[in-house]
Amino acid sequence: MTGRIQDKVAVVTGGCSGIGLATVRRFVDEGARVVIGDIADEAGKALVGELGPDVVTYVHVDVTSKEEVDALFKTAKDTYGSVDIAFNNAGISPPDDDSILTTDLEAWRKVQEVNLTSVYLCCKAALPYMLEQGKGSIINTASFVAVMGAATSQISYSASKGGVLSMTRELGVQFAREGVRVNALCPGPVNTPLLQELFAKDPERAARRLVHIPMGRFGEPEEMASAVLFLASDDSSFMTANTFLVDGGISGAYVTPL
């Protein structure tokens, strides 16, 4: 049986946990070979052991380092022969990124580097391979907070995701006639370690967010992986520069059901 991305080569950053991990598993199920870039070396090595080195390669990559990001995409090309899909997904949501009134410059800059500069670096590294091939699909992880404001602010996180969305739109337009599609995945709140860490600190904040989701629950990483697969595959061949919201209805709601 052939998969929906059979024999494609994908790079996934932040592939050792949450949305990235679910996507790595789904990509492999659908016939792709995947190169994971992450800083979670133990988890990365375990994943290669589980799925097999013929289909998964792990590379230690801090996504804020240009040299390491360049080496990640070169590994995909050298190991499996091409770079067809880039899922630029690694991101952080640390507790010291809060209201603008209390978030200091160091906390602001850290989130900008990991969430936004990383996407710039990954796109810059992936594009030359894709342009040479005349095809490719880039998916950048933004967030629903790129399109909506919240009074319970994470100021740098929200700003970084707005930047990811704008950059994605511009790249999608720029390279549309050269066969490279660039789309933004905008998840709603998803049940991953990132969200659990944020809300463990503040259950009231978790409850506040849940009340705004029409479906009344957080998303699951596997539900994001399905959306990423769609954007990565030819099923979405007429989509680029898109704001792909997968959010349980959160961005469409004014009032939610009780």
Q: What is the dihedral of CA 160, 164, 167, 171, to 10 degrees?
A: 160
The token duo for 78 is 């050298």
**Least Å from the CB of residue 178 to ligand NAD:** 26
Alpha carbons 7 and 80: distance in angstroms, whole number? 9
Q: Does 16 bind ligand NAD (CB under 6 A)?
A: yes
* Binding-site member from 95, 193, 216, 217 for ligand NAD (CB under 6 A): 193
Range 198-257, binding ligand NAD (CB under 6 A): none
Toward ligand NAD, which CB reaches closer, 39 or 155?
A: 39
Q: Does 166 bind ligand NAD (CB under 6 A)?
A: no
Catalytic member of 58, 80, 129, 157: 157
**Least Å from the CB of residue 145 to ligand NAD:** 7
Toward ligand NAD, which CB reaches closer, 19 or 35?
A: 19
Range 89-118, binding ligand NAD (CB under 6 A): 89-93, 114
Toward ligand NAD, which CB reaches closer, 90 or 231?
A: 90
Q: Which long-range contacts (CB under 8 A, 24 or more apart) does 73-77 make?
A: 73/11, 73/122, 73/125, 73/126, 73/129, 75/35, 76/9, 76/10, 76/11, 76/35, 76/129, 77/9, 77/129
Closest to 76 measured CA to CA, from 121, 16, 126: 126
Range 31-90, binding ligand NAD (CB under 6 A): 38-40, 61-64, 89-90
Alpha carbons 100 and 36: distance in angstroms, whole number? 34
Per-residue CA distances from 197 to 63, 159, 191, 193 (Å): 21, 20, 10, 6
Q: Is 157 a catalytic residue?
A: yes
Residues 181/239, Cβ–Cβ less than 8 Å = yes
Toward ligand NAD, which CB reaches closer, 131 or 166?
A: 166
Q: Does 195 bind ligand NAD (CB under 6 A)?
A: yes
Q: Does 141 bind ligand NAD (CB under 6 A)?
A: yes
Residues 75/59, Cβ–Cβ less than 8 Å = yes
The residues of the shown chain that bind ligand NAD, judged by CB under 6 A, are 13-14, 16-20, 38-40, 61-64, 89-93, 114, 141, 143, 187, 189-190, 192-195
Active site residues: 157
